[in-house]
Amino acid sequence: MDSGMTNEEFGRVVEQYQKLVYTICYQMVRDHYEAQNLAQETFLSAYTHIDRCREEDMKPWLCRIASNKAKDHLKSAYVRRVQLAREEDAQENTGPGRRGIPPGGTEASPEELYTAADGAETIREMIRSLHEPYLKVSVLYFLEEKDVDEIALTLGRPRKTVQTQLYRAKQSLQKMIREGA
């Protein structure tokens, strides 16, 4: 590490801030297991880039990394849940015996399937509850999996406008998820 911090010193940083980092992650994702994983990712990222931070700035820096890791996780969760719902819809149409086998070939329990399908439907409802100018952009992006350029062309909006609207829609959706709307 270029900052001169030893592994032992970094270990003390982890010990000092692990509860804070975990709490930030948990407050955003509301899942104990994911919060633990995100906290580990936070410290791994911090360790990898420790030369970018002065020791006196460590706490806000770690908080920012943890927050960004959790936000990235929430963003990717939309895509995963929507994709899972689509796969389940497709499996319903492929005949008996196929339903309930997620990608990777391992069987999911009925509880997991119900929870995932219910979560995906909740996400779809949240997307559909957005108001313009975010509704059409979100439906095209999250539900129809169009890229930014396709959306801009379809809606006749500048690419930058679509990117901004998607960013704001994601913020609104994250807020809804955190509040359990």
Using pLDDT thresholds of 50, 70 and 90, give the confidence band for residue 2. very low
Lowest-confidence segment of 20-24, 28-32, 58-62, 122-126 by average pLDDT? 122-126
Handedness of CA 130, 134, 139, 141 (dihedral sign): negative
Residue-wise pLDDT tens digits, 135-176: 899 888 877 778 889 999 999 999 999 999 988 888 887 777
Residue-wise pLDDT tens digits, 74-112: 877 665 666 566 566 665 555 444 444 444 444 444 444
Specify the long-range contacts of residues 174-177, CB closer than 8 Å, at least 24 apart: 174/28, 174/71, 174/74, 174/75, 176/126, 176/129, 177/74, 177/77, 177/123, 177/126
Is 62:46 a contact under the CB 8 Å cutoff? yes
CB atoms within 10 A of CB 17: 21
DSSP E strand boundaries for 22-97? none
Average pLDDT score, the chain = 77
> Tell me, what's the pLDDT at 160?
93
- Write down the pTM of the prediction: 0.45
- DSSP designation for 105: S
- What value, to the nearest 5°, has the Cα angle with vertex 68 and ends 133 and 49? 140
How far apart CA 147 and CA 145 sit, in angstroms, is 6
How many residues would you count in the chain? 181
